[in-house]
Amino acid sequence: MRLDKFVCKSTQLSRAQAVECIHAGEVVVNEVAVLVESTQVHENNTITLNAELLKPRPFRYVMIHKSVNTICSNVDEAYPSLFSALDLEHSDELHVAGRLDADTTGLVLATDDGRWSFDIIRPQQHCKKVYRVGLAQAIDEGQVMDLTAKFAAGLQLQGEATLTRPAQLIILGPQDVLLTITEGKFHQVKRMFASIGKRVVSLHREKIGEVNLDIEVGAWRYLRAAEVASFKREA
């Protein structure tokens, strides 16, 4: 963790205030004053600010039900940040593990534990994500078996050298499907359906790994211990 981030996570200081303290020589790491805010430190290091021992707040793991026309960012841009309407202290310390587009709704996981979030998004983890997809064009009954097989075999997306990983397609209705994927290419779900001539008109993430979305739109809750542990790195 960067030293300035550690100081912020251990105090009520802003990032700018933390940097000012570091430059002033007020922050000591293992009995040595460190003047560079980007210095990497560990939770086990002895770090003091003006001779007071710093102890970072515990890591947090949060589920958010993202509403439409919000963005997975800590600051408002063309659309408001999904954190803006949440009564969540120090939300600026959190980051999203697996972003959603502004027009996509559903399950978002946020944390201040970078190692944990990396284990979710790293390609080798093959973390399953389940999406409810609304289509502009109907799927005919005669297409169901063929499309299911195509998704299971992998699709060739425009601009990609390799096929997508095997995906599970479940047809709920002519224009309503469930899709489970284990990777996260740019706009992947929309591009997968575009490759078979179908346009996505609504997209909602229902599940990540073993964590199911179970809260109302715009709400949040802390993940349970078992949910946090379910994302342990595979060998």
How does pLDDT run across 14-52, given as a tens digit for each residue?
Answer: 899 999 999 999 999 999 999 999 999 988 899 999 999
Shared domain check, 160 and 132: yes
In the predicted structure, residue 235 carries a pLDDT above the cut 50: no
pLDDT band at 125 (very low <50, low <70, confident <90, very high): confident
Residue 195 above 80 pLDDT?
A: yes
Between CA 114 and CA 124 the distance in angstroms is 16
Bin 154: left if φ > 0, else alpha if -120 < ψ < 50, else beta. left
Phi, psi values for residue 125, rounded to 5°: -75, -25
Asked, for residue 8, whether it belongs to a domain, the answer is: yes
| Claim to verify: residue 194 and residue 135 sit in the same structural domain | yes
Number of domains in the chain: 3
> Is 234 part of a structural domain of the chain?
no
Is residue 36 included in any domain, yes or no? yes
pLDDT on residue 101? 94
Whichever domain contains 23, its CATH number is: 3.10.290.10
Helix (H, G, I), strand (E, B) or coil at 169: strand
Active site residues: 101
Residue 86 maps to a domain: yes
97 in the same domain as 201: no
Residue 167 is assigned to a structural domain of this protein: yes
In a domain, 10, yes or no: yes
How confident is the model over 107-125, as a mean pLDDT? 90
Per DSSP, helices labelled H in the chain are 3-10, 15-23, 114-121, 144-153, 188-194, 225-229
Q: What residue type is 34 in one-letter code? A: V
- Residue 111 shares a structural domain with residue 221: yes
- Domain assignment present for residue 235? The answer is no
Same-domain status, 111 and 133: no
The reply to whether 117 and 142 lie within a common domain is no
Above 90 in pLDDT, residue 229? Answer: yes
189 lies in the same domain as 140: yes
Structural domain boundaries enclosing 220:
61-123+211-229
Say yes or no: 132 and 197 in one domain: yes
Q: Quickly state the pLDDT bin for 234 (edges 50, 70, 90).
A: low
The dihedral of CA 224, 226, 228, 230: what is its sign?
Answer: negative
Give the mean pLDDT of 96-102: 94
Lowest mean pLDDT among 40-54, 110-124, 126-140: 110-124
Rounded distance, CA 67 to CA 59, Å?
25
Percentage, residues of the chain above pLDDT 70: 99
Amino acid at 148: T
**Residue 133 DSSP SS3:** strand
Q: Is the pLDDT of residue 185 over 60?
A: yes
Res 46: pLDDT: 96
